[in-house]
Structure 1
Amino acid sequence: MTSRDDRDALRHHGDVDARSGLLDFAVNVRLRRPPEWLHKRLVAALDRLGSYPTAADDLAARRAVAERHGRAEDEVLPLAGAAEGFALLPALRPRSAALIHPSFTEPELALRNAGVEVTRVPLDPDEGYRLRPEEVPEEADLVVLGNPTNPTSVLHSADAIRSLARPGRVLVVDEAFADAVPGERESLAAERVPGLLVLRSLTKMWGLPGLRIGYALGSPELLERLTRLRPHWPVGTLGLEALIGCCEPAALLESEQAAAEIAGYRDELITALDTVSGVEVLRPAAAPFLLLRVPEGERVRELLRERGVAVRRADTFPGLDGRHLRVAVRSPEDNAELVAALRGVLGSREAAGSAATTREATTE
């Protein structure tokens, strides 16, 4: 049985930690607004809002996603955000679900609210939260994990994830941040593993959290089971238009260039954070965010807010505690402000080392 406090924690998202006027490191969205070409495309589609989305609109979107991943059209399901995919999981009627943690909490919340038995499979921080397939209960007929994982930024190997597939089991892989990984390495989006369901989001890369658009990839039979209780027109005209546009070659090239840029910014940010006293960065990191462990994390978070910087509390993720914070990777200029604010709160390692040396010399 899950307590009310536990479910409230599972409902927590980074947008709650961000506030107007703060430099936002709490929400993992690359852009503050869609790129100009996508903005224009969506504006042009506004004239079609007087009509319901048609089967042809849906087919065009599915065809675009299918071509992007080398799939068939009936292996694609447009979603009102990847979060809708999590909300649909109870329709699969699992008897026992295993959720790999720490990870995004929406799948667990949806399953628990539907009365599904859930087992948490905690990953070991001393092993860098590396996936251990042998820890997943054999009886689980639904397994859910993220890759790369929110909030740890860990990228699991595709081989390790594939090994979780079993006859009679649905394996759900949340790839909401896969397009932020150069080459989308370790992605299973193009693979036809029996029982595999891959969820993708356009929100993070393209600055579309207000539009709510994503998609699922899986066998036609699995997608049909997933949508058994779904209402008509779950994805609107603008969402379908965004799917088409973001799967075109020019958009994919932009996405790949952005992923490489993010990776460089992330590595620079890790180097800078290593100079801040008391900050431990989980590595290796592969996503457009970092998991930090700091002393008195709640106090540090509040002091950062006073300095105009918002970071995401991470104690709401199963397996983490008040020492953990998640920070998005931003531009070098914004990242420098985050590091400066953390130094202002915690000090620098160099200063701490000098102080320690001075104390030792004084006591000799």
Structure 2
Amino acid sequence: MTSPDLRHHGDVDAAPGLADFAVNVRVPHPPDWLRARLAAALDGLGRYPSKQAEERAREAVARRHGRSPDEVLLLNGAAEGFALLPKLSPRRAAIVHPGFTEPEVAFRDAGIPVEHVLLDGDFQLRDVRTDADLTVIGNPTNPTSVLHAAARIKQLPGRLVVDEAFMDAVPGEPESLARDPEVLVLRSLTKTWGLAGLRAGYFLGDPGTLERLAHGRPHWPVGSLTLEAITACCEPEALEASAQFAAEAEAHAAYALEQLQGLVVVPPKAPFLLIRAPKGAREALRDKGIAVRRCDTFPGLDDTYLRVAIRPPKEFAVFVDALRVVMEELA
């Protein structure tokens, strides 16, 4: 039976009334240009999602990644992609941890044995030994914010599934495997563009694998607004501006936290960072009105680790000031 902790997500930590540094969605709502695109699509909600709109979205994704449209499977959020993975029927699945727990939940619910590949220390990917015939890894990894080398990922055993939900926050996406036809890559658009309530994502892979994953899905699995969002967010000018902003915010956040004594900060490559603070820091921050993501629900981490969403500098300073006081109180 799957541990209930594996289903824990940051939205549970971000209770009403708390300053939210637990949810790793980068912006609180879609930017104005995207809101306008979605608003213009509202009048079409009286009709079923059209084949033409689906084709436009797939073509937009394909252009973005240098693939063909038949190598794109549109999803009702990346979470749906994880739920589809058991259709690949692996004999044994390996999950690189600490990492996002949804794929493990999906495999265990389907009765597929799961093996943990635990990374320690700096959470870098080194020699991995497993007899699994399918391996799942995040890149950049949630919650560690570590960006792994694509060449190192390619050395992992079995069929490779790479969760690149946060790769569009990395300028130039240097370690992405989105163009590799031998790898099944999962992408999300909800984190970058404030669309967590809409759900938007896609798989990139060979047509045969995508057909297998899509088998049995209901009619119109992706709604009209999601199709419009995918099309809009895959335009080159939108992606370039977003990645640069993310990199600047990450550098500022890491520097601000590194000034605090007694804190271990994992250098971030995604719009969140992993820190190790004195025991009790999460509860003390909560008492001061600050929500951060607990990390003892991730295999390989304990309750001294916290995941912190990166916000614009002025907003992030509120968290740093609160954490400074907490560190002094717990010292």
What is the deviation of 1:102? 0.3
1:174 Cα offset (Å): 0.2
Report the equivalent of 2:247. Answer: 263
Give the deviation of 1:164 after TM superposition.
2.3
1:58 positional shift: 1.1
CA contact (8 A) 1:91 1:229 kept: no
Aligned counterpart, 2:124: 130
Structure 1 unmatched runs, 5+ = 353-364
- CA distance in 1 between counterparts of 2:81 and 2:147 reads 21
Q: Distance in 1 between matches of 2:239 and 2:258?
A: 33
Alignment partner of 1:177 is 2:159: no
Residues 141 and 147 in structure 2, CA contact (< 8 A), matched pair in contact too: yes
- Structure 2 match to 1:295: 278
The answer to whether the Cα contact below 8 Å between 1:98 and 1:136 also exists between their aligned partners in 2 is: no
Q: Separation in 2 of the partners of 1:347 and 1:262? A: 30
Within 5 Å, give how 1:114-193 maps onto structure 2: 114-125=110-121, 128-132=122-126, 134-137=127-130, 139-164=131-156, 169-193=158-182
2:129 and 2:244 mapped to 1: Cα distance?
33
Structure 1 residue runs of 4 or more that deviate by more than 4 Å after TM superposition:
none
> What secondary structure sits across from 2:299 in the alignment?
coil
Contact 1:276 1:347 in 2 (8 A): no
- Structure whose CA Rg is larger: 1
Match of 1:23 in 2: 19
Offset at residue 229 of structure 1 (A): 2.4
Which residue is 2:85 aligned to?
A: 89
Matching residue of 1:346: 327
1:40 is matched by which residue type in structure 2? A
| Superposition deviation, residue 158 in structure 1 | 0.6
Determine the structure 1 residue equivalent to 2:8.
12
What TM-score, normalized by structure 2, do the two folds share? Answer: 0.96
**The structure with more helix, counted as a fraction of residues:** 1
- Alpha-carbon distance between aligned partners in 2 of 1:20 and 1:327, rounded to the nearest angstrom: 17
- Structure 1 pair 170/230, CA: closer, same or farther in 2 (3 Å)? farther
SS in 2 for 1:182: coil
Alpha-carbon RMSD across the aligned residues, in angstroms, is 1.6
Shift of residue 152 of structure 1?
0.5
Shift of 1:276: 2.2
Q: Are residue 112 (structure 1) and residue 105 (structure 2) matched? A: no
Which of 143-152 and 301-310 deviates more?
A: 301-310
Tell me how far 1:274 sits from its aligned partner.
2.1
Q: 1:217 aligns with which of 181, 204, 207?
A: 204
The secondary structure found in structure 1 opposite 2:41 is helix
Q: Is the 8 A contact 1:315 1:324 kept in 2?
A: yes
Does residue 281 in structure 1 map to residue 265 in structure 2? yes
Please tell me the residue identity of whatever aligns with 1:145. I
8 Å Cα contact 1:66-1:73 kept in structure 2: yes
2:85 partner SS:
helix
User: CA contact under 8 A between 2:75 and 2:81: conserved in structure 1?
Assistant: yes
CA distance in 2 between counterparts of 1:335 and 1:38 reads: 25
Long gaps (5+) in structure 2: none
Equivalent position of 1:67 in the other structure: 63
Letter aligned with residue 14 of structure 2: A
Alpha-carbon distance, 1:316 to partner: 0.4
Distance in 2 of aligned mates of 1:136 and 1:189: 24
Residue 261 of structure 1 deviates from its aligned partner by: 2.5
Instruction: Judge conservation of contact 2:171–2:240 (CA < 8 Å) in 1.
Output: no
SS at structure 1 position matched to 2:117: strand
Q: How much does 1:249 deviate? A: 2.8
Q: TM-score, normalised by structure 1?
A: 0.88
Shift of 1:50: 1.1
Deviations 1:272-318 (A, max 9, x none): 212323211123x211111111111xx21122122121110011000
Cα distance in 2 for residues equivalent to 1:29 and 1:237: 22
CA distance in 1 between partners of 2:22 and 2:302 (Å): 17
- AA matched with 1:76: V
